[in-house]
Amino acid sequence: MNDLVLCELSEGICTLTLNRPEKLNALSVESFRQIAAHLDRVEMRDLGCVVLKGAGRSFCAGHDLDDLASGAEAGAVERFEAGVIERLANLPLPVIAVVQGHCYTGGLELVLAADIIIASTDARFADTHAKWDLVPVWGLTQRLQRRVGRSKAMEMMFASRTYSGEEAREVGLANICVPPDRLETETSRFCGDILANSSRSTRAMKKMLADTDGLPLAAGLAWELYHSEGHGPAMQARITAAREQR
């Protein structure tokens, strides 16, 4: 079996790499099976964050059109693929997507499962479902509007226009945009910032964001007050260490 998705565990970081560079990392049914298998490993380990990226010059050009044309992706298969993306989005730890080159349609749906998107200036984001007479089933209509707002999401979906990494950052699709030669360094720096913090805090905050999604402000504030995990066992040691450094 070809390794369509690589998994590397190192120093508290799990790096998942889409590995079909000759096809611009187009997603197939087997790609999702391998992502699911790697997520099994992630869920069993105490990690600080997950990094999702693509090998070669692109993050992901979208669905494998050969799979679509053959009818291989329909019904139960589509629900399985949507479930894998949902698993990625619901991981208790931070998920960082690193985007260079193409990030189209199915690739955009995959990247929207990440908490943080770091884009290269040469990145190109687009939703082309309408171009191919398709309607999303992997969550794009829900996640994109929550990321960039309803009107911008409709613009992207209806016109199938392409947006640069910098444009993606300006509308809130990407969190950070850097030149291609700084992409790896910026990703390492950002992951380092996460790992330096309390993983207990990070996981608890991600859960609270999910638990309160869609609540009115007053209800969300009450939820935080009564459900926050608050002080952790490492708090005093961290405060002491900071004082000693000063």
Residues 232 and 241: their CA atoms lie apart, in Å, by 15
Residue numbers of the domain that contains 27:
5-195
Is 103 in the same domain as 189? yes
Global pTM value: 0.94
Are 230 and 187 within one domain?
Answer: no
Same domain for 219 and 125 = no
Same domain, yes or no: 191 and 241: no
Residue (of 7, 77, 81) closest to 38 by Cα position: 7
Q: Are 29 and 78 in the same domain?
A: yes
pLDDT for 66? 79
| Number of independent structural domains in the chain | 2
Boundary-marking domain end, from 160, 179, 195: 195
The amino acid at residue 100 is Q
- Whether residue 159 is found in the same domain as residue 213: no
Q: Provide the b/e sequence for 108-120 (b: ≥16 CB within 10 Å).
A: bbbbbbbbbbbbb
Are 225 and 162 members of one domain? no
Task: Indicate whether 30 and 84 sit together in one domain.
Answer: yes
The β-bridge partners of 50 are 14, 95
* Residue 246 confidence (pLDDT): 83
Print pLDDT tens along the chain (246 aa). Answer: 589 999 999 999 999 999 999 999 999 999 999 999 999 999 988 999 999 999 999 999 998 887 777 766 678 899 999 999 999 999 999 999 999 999 999 999 999 999 999 999 999 999 999 999 999 999 999 999 999 999 999 999 999 999 999 999 999 999 999 999 999 999 999 999 999 999 999 999 999 999 999 999 999 999 999 999 999 999 999 999 999 988
| Count of CA atoms in the C-beta half-sphere (13 A) of 207 | 11
Same domain, 229 and 152: no
Half-sphere exposure of 112 (CA within 13 A, CB side): 28
> What is the C-alpha to C-alpha distance for residues 208 and 206, in angstroms, rounded to an integer?
5
CATH number for the domain that contains residue 52: 3.90.226.10
